[in-house]
Amino acid sequence: MDSTNSPSTKPLYRGTQIVWYLVGLIDILLMFRFLLKLFGANIRAGFTNFIYTASSPFVSPFNSVFGVSRVEGSVFEWTTILAMLVYLLVAWGIVKLLLIGKTVSTPEAADKLKEE
């Protein structure tokens, strides 16, 4: 049986798409947060307030890992960079885990084992 035509291929593909889409949204939100803080955006502006509120749950686990660098109203938030990296690594791990369930043919498995 060709592994590309396996019944599990399409759900795995969709699952990986969903994971990358969600982490993409989170990282875009975090990037906006990082840039707004870096450029000293007005916290009372609706957009800025929305971004800070929406991104807060995603950076809060990392808040005390690093300090914050401040220069004349600009904030370089190291924890946001760390959060972005961690979410990317977690997404990568989830995608790799999902792909473990992919059906492979015996010759394909043998080739992969030789590569490792």
How does pLDDT run across 59-104, given as a tens digit for each residue?
A: 999 998 988 888 888 899 999 999 999 999 999 999 999 888 777 7
For 48, the domain range is: 3-115
The CA distance from 22 to 26, in Å, is 6
User: What is the pTM (predicted TM-score) of this model?
Assistant: 0.80
| Contact yes or no for 59/30 (Cβ under 8 A) | yes
Residue % of the chain over a pLDDT of 70: 91
The CA distance from 30 to 76, in Å, is 13
What lies within 8 Å, CB to CB, of 113 at 6+ separation is none
Amino acid at 73: G
Sign of CA dihedral 13, 18, 21, 23: negative
Q: How confident is the model at residue 29 (pLDDT cuts 50, 70, 90)?
A: very high
* Structural domain count, the chain: 1
Sign of CA dihedral 53, 84, 32, 19: negative
